[in-house]
Amino acid sequence: TGEIKRFIRDDGLVKVSRTLKENGSRVKYARERLLKSLGREPTLEEVALEAALTTEEVILAMEAGARVESIYQSVYQ
């Protein structure tokens, strides 16, 4: 099955994403650029386009930052 998987991936049918952390900073900077240029909060699709990610990757990447901030702190203390 390893071969089938490699074939499917190399074919571009399934994209293995970059790391969460890398995407996290791409999202952060894309949002900052758009905030400046648009003068308002950018939408999910605008940020995805700017960061060259899918909206799905943006959602998961936002988690990379959130983890350190708010909630996790209190839960795991």
Partner 1 sequence: MTKNEMQIQFTAVSENEAFARIAVAAFVTPLNPTLEEIADIKTAVSEAVTNAIIHGYDGMTGKEQNQVYIHCLLNRDVLQVEVIDEGKGIEDVEKAMEPMYTTKPDMDRSGMGFAFMEAFMDELEVISEPGQGTTVLMSKKLGTLPFIDREE
Binding region for partner 1 (CB under 8 A): 1, 4-5, 8, 14-17, 19, 27, 31, 41-45, 47, 55-56, 58-60, 62-63, 66-67, 70-72, 74-77
Nearest to partner 1 of 37, 72 (CB atom): 72
Q: What is the DSSP letter of 12?
A: T
Query: Kind and range of the H or E element at 56?
Result: helix 55-66
Q: Which is nearer to partner 1, 25 or 55 (CB)?
A: 55
Minimum distance from residue 10 beta carbon to partner 1 (Å): 13
**Total Cβ atoms within 10 A of residue 51:** 21
User: Residue 57 CB, nearest distance to partner 1 (Å)?
Assistant: 10
Q: How large is the greatest C-alpha to C-alpha distance in the chain, in angstroms?
A: 50
CB of 29 to partner 1, least distance (A): 12
Q: Is 65 exposed, middle or buried (0-12, 13-18, 19+ CB in 10 A)?
A: middle
